[in-house]
Amino acid sequence: MTTTAAELLEVVWGRASTAPTSASQLRVLHILEHHDGINLRSLAESLASTPPSTSRLCDRLVAAGFVERVVSAEDRREVRLHLSSRGRAFLADLRARRERELRSVLADMPTAKRIALLEGLEAFCDAAAAQIHGDTSDTRSRTA
């Protein structure tokens, strides 16, 4: 059942995604959204990738206008990465499209099942955030 749910969620997510980005590029955009000004080495570590591969990934995002590279004022050898206004607008639009797709599916569910799903997803968010970020605090206020 878990595999089927995950696959169906991918299909629903995919319907909303007219994204000109790969899954790896989208992951970079999400990281930059939450870690503005991160350097390339830290981004590579977050992606479990190498700096040269991460740099090429960022090259494509810079070319698309989603990411900006800024030389650090403290150390001219270090480059800081920032999500551009176009990148922020892209993520906002993607979230809105995904939300519309999910609302469409949820509208076809009985109310009691929607409530049960919400409670289960809140517990999932708490557990996933604790594993990913080592955060044991209540994440619902951040995910709402």
Domain containing residue 51: CATH number: 1.10.10.10
Number of domains the chain is built from? 2
pTM equals: 0.74
- Answer yes or no: is pLDDT of 106 > 50: yes
pLDDT: is 133 or 62 the higher one?
Answer: 62
Instruction: Concatenate the DSSP letters of all residues of the chain into one string.
Output: -HHHHHHHHHHHHHHH---SS-HHHHHHHHHHHHSTTEEHHHHHHHHT--HHHHHHHHHHHHHTTSEEEEE-SS-TT-EEEEE-HHHHHHHHHHHHHHHHHHHHHHHTS-HHHHHHHHHHHHHHHHHHHHHHH---S--HHHH-
128 is in which domain, residue-wise? 110-144
pLDDT recorded at residue 60:
94
Co-location of 69 and 137 in the same domain? no
Co-location of 75 and 125 in the same domain? no
**Domain contains 98:** yes
Co-location of 64 and 115 in the same domain? no
Co-location of 67 and 92 in the same domain? yes
CA-nearest of 78, 35, 75 to 55 is 78
pLDDT in tens, 36-82: 999 999 999 999 999 999 999 999 999 999 999 998 788 888 889 99
Co-location of 60 and 24 in the same domain? yes
Co-location of 122 and 93 in the same domain? no
Q: By the 8 A CB rule, do 31 and 43 touch? A: yes
Average pLDDT score, the chain: 86
Co-location of 16 and 85 in the same domain? yes
Co-location of 52 and 122 in the same domain? no
Q: By the 8 A CB rule, do 57 and 137 touch? A: no
Co-location of 67 and 119 in the same domain? no
